[in-house]
């Protein structure tokens, strides 16, 4: 009995120590962004410009029609503003970090560390995301919260929104990881990353709400995991969907997390084998 108890205690200590190590990577990600204050200040300035440009565009469009794709003007303004704030939360540049490490051979240093490569990059991404929440997302929320065109969510809608965006963060991370490890197999550069991000942003509903798309494109978007990043969360935020589909949405997000996790593990293992065979 005592040996079992001691064994359980030892396992708990090991897990706790491992968590402390990974939390250090979270701290590194946070502090790394802290060192680039000018870059982050420019990001902070760029987001309101992009958001207001979208808002002015939709204000012009809605002078012709009062409702488009089940959205009125205030709803689409709220959709645009909150979606771009969400983008600041998701955007951690992990795909660039991993891709450049693979391309430049720096990944060899990571492989000799006694830590899980995918795990430490996840915590690194979380640290970066936390910084962007405090430096970009929250100040933007403070700016737009006083706008008479932003529709505030109900408490229930907001809580469901929070749950789905946390799960969406894992989807984003795994997609970024897959894009990053693709550098094992073909030429990797910023142009490739930008192209992939643009495709994802379009089918996620960041460019326009998905209900604005023609039926064929809408069907494609609905079959992909990307709609969970912006379109679905914003449906909850605006109260267009609620508790009646919440469980279904969460299950769908977990399903995609599982699929993307196994795909990323497979591609990473394949890439390491390729690197080993080539003598890397």
CA 91 – CA 72 distance, rounded (Å) = 28
Q: What is the pLDDT of residue 280?
A: 52
| Contact status, residue 26 vs residue 127, Cβ threshold 8 Å | yes
Q: What is the pLDDT of residue 156?
A: 95
| Contact status, residue 256 vs residue 84, Cβ threshold 8 Å | no
| Contact status, residue 185 vs residue 271, Cβ threshold 8 Å | yes
Q: What is the mean pLDDT of each run of 10 residues along the chain (280 residues)?
A: 52 62 82 74 80 88 86 92 90 86 81 83 89 78 73 92 97 94 78 88 94 94 96 96 96 97 93 70
Q: What is the DSSP string of 197-240?
A: HHHHHHHHTSSS-GGGS-HHHHHHHHTSGGGGTTHHHHHHHTTS
Q: In this predicted model, what pLDDT tens digit does every residue of 26-51 receive, in sequence order?
A: 888 878 777 777 777 777 778 888 88
| Short-list 43, 52, 144, 123, CA closest to 87 | 43
Q: What is the pLDDT of residue 27?
A: 84
CA 120 – CA 126 distance, rounded (Å) = 10
Q: What is the pLDDT of residue 2?
A: 47
- The answer to whether the pTM exceeds 0.95 is no
CA 104 – CA 44 distance, rounded (Å) = 30
CA 57 – CA 51 distance, rounded (Å) = 10
């Amino acid at each position: 009995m005592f040996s079992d108890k001691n064994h359980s205690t030892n396992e708990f200590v090991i897990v706790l120590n491992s968590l402390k190590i990974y939390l250090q990577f979270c701290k590194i990600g946070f502090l790394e962004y802290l060192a680039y204050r000018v870059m982050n200040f420019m990001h902070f300035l760029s987001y309101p410009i992009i958001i207001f440009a979208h808002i002015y565009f939709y204000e012009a469009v809605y002078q012709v029609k009062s409702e488009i794709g089940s959205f009125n003007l205030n709803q689409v303004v709220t959709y645009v503003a909150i979606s771009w704030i969400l983008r600041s939360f998701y955007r951690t540049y992990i795909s660039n970090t991993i891709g450049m490490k693979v391309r430049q051979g720096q990944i060899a240093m990571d492989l000799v560390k006694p830590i899980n490569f995918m795990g430490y990059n996840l915590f690194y991404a979380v640290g970066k995301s936390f910084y962007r929440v405090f430096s970009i997302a929250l100040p933007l929320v403070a700016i737009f919260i006083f706008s008479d065109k932003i529709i505030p969510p109900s408490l229930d809608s907001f809580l469901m929104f929070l749950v789905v965006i946390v799960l969406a963060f894992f989807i984003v991370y795994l997609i970024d990881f897959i894009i990053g490890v693709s550098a094992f197999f073909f030429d990797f550069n910023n142009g490739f990353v930008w192209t992939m991000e643009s495709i994802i942003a379009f089918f996620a509903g960041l460019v326009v709400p998905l209900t604005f798309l023609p039926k064929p494109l809408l069907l494609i978007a609905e079959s992909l995991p990307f709609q969970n990043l912006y379109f679905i969360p914003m449906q909850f935020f605006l109260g267009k969907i609620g508790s009646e589909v919440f469980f279904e949405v969460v299950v769908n997000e977990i399903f995609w997390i599982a699929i993307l996790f196994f795909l990323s593990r497979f591609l990473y293992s394949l890439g390491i084998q390729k690197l080993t065979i080539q003598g890397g």
